[in-house]
Amino acid sequence: HRNRAASSVRLPRRSSAFTVRAEGGINPDVRKDEQKVVDSVVVSELAKPLTAYCRCWRSGTFPLCDGSHVKHNKATGDNVGPLLVKK
């Protein structure tokens, strides 16, 4: 990971076994070394006719959706799902 905040603030080293989750936060674990997680899709570079992008912040292949929203929804009663990008 590249630490974007390194020049201004020294962030504590994170342990993968211990994640502090702020009250009301929605991203428990994705790239917490980045101040804001923004991803870009360049449409002309898409390989497949349909690509699913994660909006639940639980995917093991973030920013892609790997189906983890199903477990999250079941565990919490939530109703989130991916954004489908179609060529």
- Contact positions toward ligand FES, by CB under 6 A? 54-56, 58-59, 65-69, 81-82
Q: CB neighbours (10 Å) of residue 69?
A: 21
Among 14, 16, 25, 67, the residue binding a second copy under the rule CB under 8 A is: 25
SS3 28: coil
Q: Is the CB of residue 68 less than 8 Å from the CB of residue 59?
A: yes
36 is catalytic: yes
| From candidates 9, 17, 22, 47, binder to a second copy by CB under 8 A | 22
Residue 39: name the closest of 53, 20, 21, 19 by CA: 53
Q: CA 44 to CA 38: how far, in whole Å?
A: 19
- Candidates 53, 66, 67, 68; binder of a second copy (CB under 8 A) is 53
> Would you tell me which residues interact with a second copy (CB under 8 A)?
22-27, 31-32, 34-44, 46, 53-57, 63, 69, 72-73, 75-87
Active site residues: 36
